[in-house]
A and B are shown apart, each in its own frame.
Chain A
Amino acid sequence: MKASLTKKICIYLGALLLATVIAVPVLWLFIMSISSSTHLTTLPLQWWPDEPTFENYRSLLVFAENSPSASFLYGIRNSIIIAFCATGLSIIAAIPAAYSFSRLPGPRRKNLLYAVIAIFMLPPVAIVLPLYTVMSALGLLNTHFALIIVYCSILLPFTTWLLKSNFDTIPGDLDEAPIIDGANRLQAIWYVILPIARPALGAAVMMAVLLAWDEFFYGLLFTNDIRAKTITVAIADLAAGRVADYGLISAAGILAAVPPVVLAFFMQKTLVSGLASGSVKG
């Protein structure tokens, strides 16, 4: 009895500690974002602004030429375009590939699958130099197109693998039946597999968008102004700026985090099972 009470206390203390560790840094980022820059540079530091203000958010969200708002809003726009196009392109190529790996296996294709997974894990520095010189020679630096193509090197192996593991769980008879009746493979994928795999497809799209939204290395190297800079690059620029307005930087961070955080919470179950699928036997 006494032991179980001690255990209970330990559990709640642990839970409290964990909640604090997770929440406090983000909460502080939010408090900074609603503080004025003079308030944040007053010593000793106060933990709550005298006059909370959403001025930082306003100055980011109301467009003005050559201001932080321009690079921020263009960054959001560019990231949305690039993340969705790269995800779309990857999914279109990944669906037939995943089907082929799952339903029409062969020893050489199995090795190919391993190669695809290995490529997904390669450090980007392994391929960035030729990609840069090719994009530069083709005049594609600082375009959405360049990043859409390059992001496929991350998203395509990942989505192929994710979809393949899911297709494996769909009984084979389901798509063999229409094929015996004379349908072709693409029809079987479209009419039989995809409707069943819709949740997995949703998870793959979401994870791919999250990966693309988070990408920084290629974005940094392949873009140089607001026409193509992604939101991560815009944030890094802002954080490294000469005029350090901590409140403004924090507000930009909060805003850039909102889409992925909302998406992840919204699809918590799929995200967790997606993460686990790479590590727990499905």
Chain B
Amino acid sequence: MISYRKTVTAWLLLTPMIVIIVGVSGYPLIKTIYYSLTGAKLIAPDVTSIFVGLDNYARALSSSKFLEAIWHTTYFAVISVGAEMVIGVLVALLLNEAFAGRTLLRAMLILPLALPTVVNAMMWRLIYNPDFGALNALLVQIGMLDAYRSWLGDPATALDMVILADVWKNFPLVALIALAALQTVPKDLYEAATLDGAGVWNRFWRITLPAILGPLSVALVLRTIEAFKVFDIVYVMTRGGPASSTKTVSFYVYQEAFAYMRVGSGASYALIVVLISACLIAGYMYLIRKQGEV
């Protein structure tokens, strides 16, 4: 009887959250699945929709442009998250040492993180500016570059330059997570290892890395999930150009649905993105369950 009342109370307390989540996420997700099976248009989507079965998916998976967008997103995710992990761990190792100014430096890590994504994108767009940008000016003035370049206007460099801007903003997140984990490693472990003759390299691989691997792997998956959603920075810096070289899947869905007004096929693209994300999210769930976080 008491446990029955407890169950009722439990669900009653959850009700406001469930109502909101179902309304703003659950129902829309199901409706997206429905749209993806139709030829719905953005204007009056329910009136003009015709059921087309899996046609949208078939077209999506055979569209070289869409597959290219998946490739750009994967490239963006792998390179940016990879760089963020390596730089983040190096910075965490640095900040785990005692030196003057360490507290200030750790506080500075907050700056890129707190800077709004759109402001970050805009800042780097100005720095990369082909005619008056600081990067061109700097490289030419110190003699590393002969003439001004259009960093974001050249399909060969555009995506890498966007990645650089993203790494600058997000490496502090990895650094802070890694630092928090490093501070839980007992110091005498290193001393003992040093006495046993273990070098710097050995100590890193045998002690440091295993100790921070758990939190680090969670950070890795978390950043990868975020990287697969990337939209803001691309929108502000390049709008997917030049020659679609920075077009990521989120940007592709945005264009399909809101520029070309094709909600049906846009929804099928979106769900393919969801499927990829779902694999990553499942990985994340596995990791946090293993670490007993939830």
The answer to whether B293 and A25 have CB atoms under 8 Å apart is no
Q: B180 contacts A280, CB within 8 Å?
A: yes
B35, closest chain A residue (CB): A129
For the complex, what is the distance from the CA of A19 to the CA of B263, rounded to whole Å? 46
A52-77 contacts to B, CB under 8 A, are none
Interface residues on A, range: 35 or more
Is there contact, CB below 8 Å, between B7 and A106?
A: yes
- Asked if B17 contacts A232 (CB within 8 A), the reply is no
Interface residues in A211-255 (C-beta closer than 8 Å to B): 213-214, 216-217, 220-221, 231-232, 235-236, 239-240, 246, 249-250, 253
> A interface, by DSSP: helix, strand, loop or mixed?
helix
Residues of A contacting B249 in the complex (Cβ-Cβ under 8 angstroms): 125
Residue of B28, B168, B271 with highest tally of chain A CB at under 10 A:
B28
Query: Residue B201 at the A interface, CB < 8 A?
Result: no
| Contacting residues, chain B, for A210 (C-beta < 8 A) | 114
Q: Give the nearest-CB partner of A8 in chain B.
A: B99
B 277-294 to A, binary, CB cutoff 8 A, 1 in contact else 0: 110010011001001111
Q: How many residues of B contact A (CB 8 A)?
A: 105
Q: Does A257 lie within 8 Å of B114, measured CB to CB?
A: yes
With a cutoff of 8 Å between Cβ atoms, the chain A residues found around residue B79 in the complex are none
**B122-A253 in contact (CB<8A):** yes
The distance from the CB of A2 to the nearest CB of chain B, in whole angstroms, is 15
CB distance B219 to A279 under 8 Å?
Answer: yes
Chain A nearest Cβ from B259, distance in angstroms:
11
CB distance from B136 to the nearest CB of A (A): 8
**Which of A26, A131, A216 is the one whose CB lies under 8 Å from B231?**
A216
| B250 lies within 8 A of A235 (CB) | no
Of the candidates B90, B117, B132, B285, the one whose C-beta lies within 8 Å of that of A40 is: B132
Report the minimum CB–CB distance from B12 to chain A (whole Å). 8
Task: Please indicate the chain B residues that have their CB under 8 angstroms from the CB of A94 in the complex.
Answer: 17
Q: Given the complex, which residues of B lie within 8 Å of A231, measured CB to CB?
A: 116
Contact A25 B114 (CB under 8 A): no
- Known contacts A92-B16, A272-B180; is-contact A261 B91 (Cβ 8 Å): no
Mark out the residues of chain B between 112 and 146 whose CB falls within 8 Å of any chain A CB in the assembled complex.
112-119, 121-127, 129, 131-132, 134, 137, 140-141
A-B residue pairs in contact (CB < 8 Å), sample of 12: A12-B99, A15-B99, A92-B16, A96-B17, A126-B270, A127-B25, A235-B236, A236-B236, A249-B122, A263-B114, A276-B180, A276-B181
3 tightest A-B contacts by CB? A130-B31, A104-B10, A264-B114
